[in-house]
Structure 1
Amino acid sequence: MFDNLRDIDEKLAVLEHQLSDPALVQDQKKFQKVVREHSTVSKLASLYGKYLALCQEMDDNKALIKDEGEDPELVELAKAELGEMAEDKVKLEQDISVLLLPKDPNDEKNIFLEIRAGTGGDEAALFVADLFRMYSRYAESQSWKVEVMSSNPIGIGGFKEIIALISGKSVYSKLKFESGVHRVQRVPDTETQGRIHTSAVTVAIIPEAEEVDLHIEPNELKFDVYRSSGPGGQSVNTTDSAVRVTHLPTGLVVTCQDEKSQHKNKAKALQVLRARLLDKMEQERHDKISADRKNQVGSGDRSERIRTYNFPQGRVTDHRINLTVYKLDQVIAGALEEVIIPVITHYQTEALKRADA
């Protein structure tokens, strides 16, 4: 099953030799690529070593059991150990198989988190703020950095829209299945009769685009500047620092007004636009390759309802894998592993099934 791992130690030695080369550090992109590959190969080598050792132990126990001259108690002990070893072997095989799956080229990238209010008016806007806090706290637990790129606040503490750059180790690999419609069911503070309202917000997870990923011609862009404004039309500053950038070939529009500097707002808007364009191109490419898209957990479509947060019941339900956990307070507080890991595991299991087919 793992014939191609027989030379894994040799491959690991080659990578370690490359990392010890001072010249490699001068090329940071190549250096980071080798570091990531070394990390994966190192994990594979460790797991494969444990796997081989376990297989040898199992063979030894089987030989002991077959030896009729052995002490009966020792044979029974060997049989019991063999059962435990068989379970460990299955787990190791699965862990190794997951590492051998083809890597998503975006897994190591930073992401743009875009959260927008959908149906539900002010309550939806308030839930945008709740989800942003949830993702921010999760990011903090992962030692990731969160930088707000653009926001459209309302006067009661919510947002019609907020866009943030989350940077750190393996951000996209952890959050890539968060795209979709997130529904909230709760009694709003403004509800006097205690009725439960259902609102929805849309989450988009877009991998950050690098300069080498996408080239945009200057004549494809149109820039507009205007005066920033806050909730209720309140003036944020008295200069035309807000920036709107339009990509003319696609019609994509990005606005940014969070910074007081027009230059900084322009840089942030371009950063978001670049990521959206690359995401659009990747989506179109993917659609051509696979029309039914059954190889994903759900479709990944941002119009698809993926999760419901029911406050009266303290329940969070992920509709793609029929997962329900009664830990809403913890999840909203940033304990996203409760719902993220099962979805990732489900995706990996489906990928392994296809690999074995």
Structure 2
Amino acid sequence: MIDRLQFIKQRFDEVSDLVIQPDIIADQKRYVQLNKEYKELKALTDKGAEYIKAVGNKEEAQEIIADGSDAEMVEMAKMQLEEAKELIPQLEDDIKFMLIPKDPEDAKNVMVEIRAGTGGDEASIFAGDLYRMYTKYCENKGWRTSVVDISEGTSGGFKEVIFEVSGEDVYGTLKFEAGVHRVQRVPQTETQGRIHTSAATVMVLPEAEEFDVHLDMNDVRIDFFCSSGPGGQSVNTTKSAVRMTHIPTGLVAQCQDEKSQHKNKDKATQVLRSRLYEMELAKKQEEDAAKRSSQVSSGDRSAKIRTYNYPQGRVTDHRIGLTIYDLDGVMNGSVQKLIDELQLVNNTEKLKESEVF
């Protein structure tokens, strides 16, 4: 492993020099790629330095113990040896996981789309609950959220809500949330206390940069219309809302959250670009899925991934058979424990397939 870490340190030094070169900074795409590689290599190099130090401490302690001439030094060396023996395997595991080939999409920001499914008004209310859950989670992570489009339900919640999330490694974290979420509870509208089952679909789209996908505006029909819902005097009086239709694919994106037509157009363009990118990404994921099987769903939007059972106060993730009896905590944004387990299973599967070691 030390040979591998020395090679990584060498590459880190090369990237450190490249990332400050004026011609690299001027090439936005190349600069973004190298800056991402720099961050990954720095984390690996720092962890590698810890590992090399621990191995050195182990060898030093073994030499002192073998010499045996100073009883006090031998006792100290024995303690140092035990610490190193305990630390080295842990560092090796950390490094192995860090060396797993990363999905290039993981560092991207995302568009999250939540749509009410089966269950009528209760499904819309549940979609609203999921939206609040994710916005609280993002707030706890220090990520920024921005609403793109909202279609309100007739009895609360949302028929559909689209919002943007930006921060560090957003897609790599939230991609496990894509799929069908199911809720089991007594709806507010239920008079006889019967438990109903409703569902909402969550889509997590990696945000596409201009150099990720080509969007020819000649292929796009743009319609302007009056906004609906909250927004003050300008609602229903100015055509600030924007709907964009990509004619070759039939994909549609719209935004009416901003008062400015220009800002709505920019947001709708970003959503449309992300949906086009997601189409291409889905094709690639299907090809990858044919080559490898994983316990963690690749994000198939038709797959039932999780059940939120209110009478029992539990959340069950069906992909890995994990049940947590902390429904209130999860619905208040404590989603990390679920995501951590999903990432662990996913990384373990990748590690089995990886040829790193």
TM-score class normalised by the smaller sequence: 0.7 to 0.9
Maintained 8 Å contact 2:316/2:324: yes
1:59 and 2:52 equivalent? no
Q: Which amino acid is the alignment partner of residue 227 of structure 1?
A: C
Q: Which residue of 2 aligns with 1:185?
A: 184
Q: Can you list the C-alpha shifts for 1:277-321, whole angstroms capped at 9, x where unaligned?
A: 111011113323442651461242011111111222221111111
Work out the CA distance in 2 between the residues paired with 1:155 and 1:286.
Answer: 36
Alignment CA distance shift 1:133-1:93 (3 Å): same
Q: Which residue of 1 aligns with 2:348?
A: 349
* CA deviation after TM superposition for structure 1 residue 225, in Å: 3.0
SS of 1:260 mapped into structure 2: coil
* CA deviation after TM superposition for structure 1 residue 2, in Å: 5.0
Maintained 8 Å contact 1:237/1:260: no
Q: Which amino acid is the alignment partner of residue 10 of structure 1?
A: Q
SS of 1:277 mapped into structure 2: helix
Work out the CA distance in 1 between the residues paired with 2:19 and 2:213.
Answer: 29
Work out the CA distance in 2 between the residues paired with 1:157 and 1:172.
Answer: 29
TM-align CA RMSD: 2.8
Q: Which residue of 2 aligns with 1:41?
A: 41
Q: Which residue of 2 aligns with 1:174?
A: 173
Work out the CA distance in 1 between the residues paired with 2:247 and 2:149.
Answer: 21
Alignment CA distance shift 1:286-1:8 (3 Å): closer
* CA deviation after TM superposition for structure 1 residue 31, in Å: 3.7
Q: Which residue of 2 aligns with 1:129?
A: 128
Q: Which amino acid is the alignment partner of residue 46 of structure 1?
A: D
Work out the CA distance in 2 between the residues paired with 1:172 and 1:218.
Answer: 26
* CA deviation after TM superposition for structure 1 residue 147, in Å: 0.8
Alignment CA distance shift 1:324-1:296 (3 Å): closer
Q: Unaligned stretches of 5+ in structure 1? A: none
Alignment CA distance shift 1:130-1:106 (3 Å): same
Work out the CA distance in 1 between the residues paired with 2:2 and 2:274.
Answer: 38
TM-score for the superposition, normalised by structure 2: 0.88
Alignment CA distance shift 1:264-1:104 (3 Å): same
Work out the CA distance in 1 between the residues paired with 2:215 and 2:19.
Answer: 34
Alignment CA distance shift 1:202-1:262 (3 Å): same
Q: Which residue of 1 aligns with 2:239?
A: 240
Alignment CA distance shift 1:119-1:264 (3 Å): same
Comparing 238-247 with 68-77, greater Cα deviation is found at 68-77
Work out the CA distance in 2 between the residues paired with 1:301 and 1:144.
Answer: 25
Alignment CA distance shift 1:296-1:106 (3 Å): farther
Q: Can you list the C-alpha shifts for 1:112-169, whole angstroms capped at 9, x where unaligned?
A: 0000001111111111111111111111122211111111012433100000111112
Q: Can you list the C-alpha shifts for 1:244-303, whole angstroms capped at 9, x where unaligned?
A: 222122121223233333333332222111101111011113323442651461242011
Alignment CA distance shift 1:3-1:73 (3 Å): closer
Work out the CA distance in 2 between the residues paired with 1:11 and 1:277.
Answer: 34
Work out the CA distance in 2 between the residues paired with 1:340 and 1:153.
Answer: 28
Q: Report matched runs for 1:255-274 at 5 Å.
A: 255-274=254-273
Q: Which residue of 2 aligns with 1:302?
A: 301
Maintained 8 Å contact 1:293/1:299: no
Q: Which residue of 2 aligns with 1:50?
A: 50
Comparing 164-173 with 68-77, greater Cα deviation is found at 68-77
Q: Which residue of 2 aligns with 1:324?
A: 323
SS of 1:203 mapped into structure 2: strand
Q: Can you list the C-alpha shifts for 1:57-113, whole angstroms capped at 9, x where unaligned?
A: 3334555666788869967983x8656544422221121112211121111111000
Maintained 8 Å contact 1:228/1:242: yes
Comparing 324-333 with 238-247, greater Cα deviation is found at 238-247
Q: Unaligned stretches of 5+ in structure 2? A: none
Q: Which amino acid is the alignment partner of residue 268 of structure 2?
A: A
Q: Which amino acid is the alignment partner of residue 347 of structure 1?
A: N
* CA deviation after TM superposition for structure 1 residue 17, in Å: 3.1
1:17 and 2:17 equivalent? yes
* Count of residues in Structure 1 that have an aligned counterpart in Structure 2: 353
Work out the CA distance in 1 between the residues paired with 2:53 and 2:285.
Answer: 41
Q: Which residue of 1 aligns with 2:100?
A: 101
Alignment CA distance shift 1:120-1:9 (3 Å): same
Comparing 284-293 with 103-112, greater Cα deviation is found at 284-293
SS of 1:291 mapped into structure 2: helix
Q: Which residue of 2 aligns with 1:205?
A: 204
Q: Which amino acid is the alignment partner of residue 151 of structure 1?
A: I
SS of 1:7 mapped into structure 2: helix
Q: Which residue of 1 aligns with 2:89?
A: 90
SS of 2:264 mapped into structure 1: helix
Alignment CA distance shift 1:91-1:144 (3 Å): same
Q: Which residue of 2 aligns with 1:253?
A: 252
Once the two structures are aligned, what percentage of the paired residues are identical? 48
